[in-house]
Structure 1
Amino acid sequence: LGRARAGPLLGSLPGNCPPVSGFRFGGTPTVEIGRGSSSSERTRQGNPQRRINEKSVWCCGWLPCTPLRIAATAGHGNCVDFLIQKGAEVDLVDVKGQTALYVAVVNGHLESAQILLEAGADPNGSRHHRSTPVYHASRVGRADILKALIRYGADVDVNHHLTPDIRPPFSRRLTSLVVCPLYISAAYHNLQCFKLLLQAGANPDFNCNGPVNTQGFYRGSPGCVMDAVLRHGCEAAFVSLLVEFGANLNLVKWESLGPESRGRRKVDPEALQVFKEARSVPRTLLNLCRVAVRRALGKYRLHLIPSLPLPDPIKKFLLYE
């Protein structure tokens, strides 16, 4: 095999990029070309713009994936930016259905995630993968990454997996709250992420605006987000937020909730008291109006509230700021 230098096509490479097969970062990259290949074949094989999206690179997890996927995993923001400029497709998935953005979020690399989002990466990841960037950021409490995802239009509910226009096996009814970002942020007591999701329009009852089959929920599992918050022993602040954002309190069989739930963690006494008071006292007209206005706008138009011809205090009120 002979070696054809690809330097003139790629230009200067960042010196601290991770090593990948077919490219030698930190020096002059090389591409293997058969000595007996025709001129057109050499061009096809040696053109980095064509090869840059090939899943011919093996990472430490023994998964064939693209150079962009490896750079995002390692958090090399300059390499991510460079590869995108050279034509790398941002939403290609590996054999697990993971996008470069998803692995950047999983590994906690905010800079790489922002670069990918600015380049047009789908903030929801891929429908071929059960988890999403929003879900993982909510689970580990990375509010900074969650803010970036929301700013670029990420779905804070799980509707992109549940919408009826998607064919099976990727479309399904909600039969467990475990898949919901709002639920997982409460389960791990990540209050800041919990509030960010609600501010962005997450459904406070099921974290889903699609089909819900409560009869199909696992026996003994929480029947709604408020139920989950109480069962997991979350602080009173979680309950107060759900009440403020219009959660349906009648979905919880609160009579069966005591200081200690069967097979569960202890229910926070203060949180339970806040819930019972909210059930017994009607909500203010001011609170009901805010919930009604936000629902009328819909979660995909909430970001337009700052541009409305309204006084700043009202805008902040509608945004829960």
Structure 2
Amino acid sequence: MTLALPWGTDFLPGPNLKEWLREQFCDHPLEHCEDTRLHDAAYVGDLQTLRNLLQEESYRSRINEKSVWCCGWLPCTPLRIAATAGHGNCVDFLIRKGAEVDLVDVKGQTALYVAVVNGHLESTEILLEAGADPNGSRHHRSTPVYHASRVGRGDILKALIRYGADVDVNHHLTPDTRPPFSRRLTSLVVCPLYISAAYHNLQCFRLLLQAGANPDFNCNGPVNTQEFYRGSPGCVMDAVLRHGCEAAFVSLLVEFGANLNLVKWESLGPEARGRRKIDPEALQVFKEARSKWHELNSMLWSGVD
């Protein structure tokens, strides 16, 4: 059976798939891409072989080549492969030999992003020190900050923040994607604060707020709450309560200036609409803070009169 592809190319499934991937995505002549020794050495962390190969000009010219290697199907650069495997010494050596740190694979992933996804702090720090974009690539739907927040890697998140990573969602907006083509935030699910709360990663939640994350929507662009999915949290505080987070999450949001009026009382029944019950202590902290907030506002307005 032959599979028809959108761009008119046919290939046979099974053993020929790897060959087809090489033909479609490798960015050098096929006779070069068939020699995968450079990529294989990066995969297994064989620094000495990398040193030997890169003494030759023919290999130095291929240091940024995307190729299918011995154990992989996705055409990648040697740096991307070494970062995925967490071979920090190889990552450092390849960069010093001229590897470009922000090249993306066919999925839009940078070497930094895959280092973060695979939990490799050393490789992450080496790439950041070498100037890798801490936000990853706008061609990929996720960011290093989002992933670190989701899995609770506070150490990696600290490194990303230290090198200037955005802690608020901006949909990777660039000068080319200004209105009317830019998108408004229509769901909190894409936000690092939300995902760290959903997975109860308090350390990451605190780090994001300390780094300046917006405590209401975790977004530095336009927000359209009317387009939020029906029944979904309307702000970060609402999400924290619905996900049954402990009181410390609520206290942090109060401390960093969250707008407590964004949470509607009708959403605060004895059980959240999600999978968890609202933490009673967290709810009490919220109600007390909101009561004090209203009292303070009343005093201020009385002073105006």
The TM-score normalised by the length of structure 2 is 0.77
- The alpha-carbon deviation at position 172 of structure 1 amounts to 1.8
- After superposition, the Cα gap between the structure-2 partners of 1:82 and 1:171, relative to the gap in structure 1 and judged at 3 Å, is farther
Report the equivalent of 2:149: 138
Identity %: 86
- The alpha-carbon deviation at position 28 of structure 1 amounts to 4.0
Aligned pair 1:89/2:100, yes or no?
yes
The one-letter code of the counterpart of 2:159 is: A
- The alpha-carbon deviation at position 50 of structure 1 amounts to 2.0
The one-letter code of the counterpart of 2:90 is: C
Matches within 5 A, 1:1-321: 17-19=42-44, 25=49, 28-29=52-53, 46-58=57-69, 60-159=71-170, 161-162=172-173, 165-166=176-177, 171-282=182-293
- SS of 2:79's equivalent? helix
Worse-superposed segment, 247-256 or 189-198: 247-256
- The alpha-carbon deviation at position 19 of structure 1 amounts to 4.8
- After superposition, the Cα gap between the structure-2 partners of 1:163 and 1:221, relative to the gap in structure 1 and judged at 3 Å, is farther
- The alpha-carbon deviation at position 178 of structure 1 amounts to 0.6
2:115 and 2:124 in contact (8 A); partners too: yes
- After superposition, the Cα gap between the structure-2 partners of 1:27 and 1:97, relative to the gap in structure 1 and judged at 3 Å, is closer
- SS of 2:253's equivalent? helix
- The alpha-carbon deviation at position 259 of structure 1 amounts to 1.8
The runs of 5 or more residues in structure 1 that have no matched partner are 4-12, 32-42, 286-321
Worse-superposed segment, 181-190 or 261-270: 261-270
The runs of 5 or more residues in structure 2 that have no matched partner are 1-30, 33-37, 297-305
Worse-superposed segment, 236-245 or 58-67: 58-67
Q: Distance in 2 between matches of 1:49 and 1:256?
A: 60
2:186 and 2:223 in contact (8 A); partners too: yes
- The alpha-carbon deviation at position 59 of structure 1 amounts to 6.4
After superposition, the CA RMSD in angstroms is 3.0
1:162 and 1:174 in contact (8 A); partners too: no
- The alpha-carbon deviation at position 127 of structure 1 amounts to 0.1
- After superposition, the Cα gap between the structure-2 partners of 1:61 and 1:171, relative to the gap in structure 1 and judged at 3 Å, is farther
- After superposition, the Cα gap between the structure-2 partners of 1:96 and 1:61, relative to the gap in structure 1 and judged at 3 Å, is same
Q: Distance in 2 between matches of 1:273 and 1:204?
A: 19
Worse-superposed segment, 257-266 or 218-227: 257-266
- The alpha-carbon deviation at position 166 of structure 1 amounts to 2.4
2:116 and 2:147 in contact (8 A); partners too: yes
- The alpha-carbon deviation at position 131 of structure 1 amounts to 0.3
The one-letter code of the counterpart of 2:287 is: K
The TM-score normalised by the length of structure 1 is 0.74
